Amino acid sequence: MVPTTHGTEKIAASLASNTCACGAGKPPGRSFCRMCSYDLHPRLRGQLTKRNMGEGYEEAHRAALAKLVELKRVTPDEAARSGL
């Protein structure tokens, strides 16, 4: 079992949600909506799909949220609710 922290729980809830950090709809099990995903560098997008919780996914998710804040796709408040 993967040890959980408050941030990890937020990331897991975000992954299970049908709403992206930006507020758009997304399928549960996907990290972000299509628009946010394609705004990320392909390498970072790949890290989100190839890693499991507890095996580097959390770090990749936080890096992606930080990039989306930088790109102004997501506000800092939205990112905080999603685990940044």
Domain boundaries, the chain: 6-81
Are the CB atoms for 54 and 37 separated by under 8 Å?
A: no
Residue 23 and residue 27: Cα distance in Å, rounded?
A: 13
At residue 6, does pLDDT exceed 60? no
CA angle in degrees (0–180, nearest 5) for 22-13-46: 65
Are the CB atoms for 12 and 84 separated by under 8 Å?
A: no
Question: Taking the CB of residue 17, how many other CB atoms lie within 10 A of it?
Answer: 16
Q: What sections of 1-84 are H helices per DSSP?
A: 6-16, 34-39, 42-50, 57-70, 76-81
Quick: pLDDT tens for 16-68. Answer: 999 999 999 999 989 999 999 999 999 999 988 877 777 888 999 999 999 99
Predicted structure pTM score? 0.83
